[in-house]
Structure 1
Amino acid sequence: MDFSNHHGRIQAEIEDERGQTNSKLQGTAALKQLEAILPKLEVEKTTAKKDAIARTMSAFKLADNYREFELEIRFPDGDKITFKSNK
Structure 2
Amino acid sequence: MNLLKITCFAILIILTGCQMAVEKHSERKIEDTPVTDIKAIPFAEFMLKVNYGNGKHNTFKAKYHKQEGEVAEIDDQLNDVNREGEEALHEMKMILSELSITKSDADRTVIRHVLEAFNLDDGYDQFQLQVKWPDGSLRVCTGKE
The answer to whether TM tops 0.5 is yes
Given the two structures, how large is their TM-score scaled by the length of structure 2? 0.55
Given the two structures, how large is their TM-score scaled by the length of structure 1? 0.88
* Uncovered stretches (5+) of structure 2, i.e. residues with no partner: 1-61
The answer on 1:17 being equivalent to 2:77 is: yes
**Percent same amino acid at aligned positions?**
27
Larger Rg: 2
Specify which structure has the bigger relative contact order, considering alpha-carbon pairs within 8 angstroms and separated by 6 or more residues: 2
Question: Which is strand-richer, 1 or 2?
Answer: 1
Shift of 1:59: 0.6
* Alignment correspondent of 1:82: 140
Shift of 1:78: 1.2
Q: Return the match for 1:49 from 95, 107, 111.
A: 107
Q: Distance in 2 between matches of 1:36 and 1:75?
A: 17
Runs in 1 of length 4+ with deviation above 2 angstroms? none
* Uncovered stretches (5+) of structure 1, i.e. residues with no partner: none
Equivalent pairs counted in the alignment come to: 84
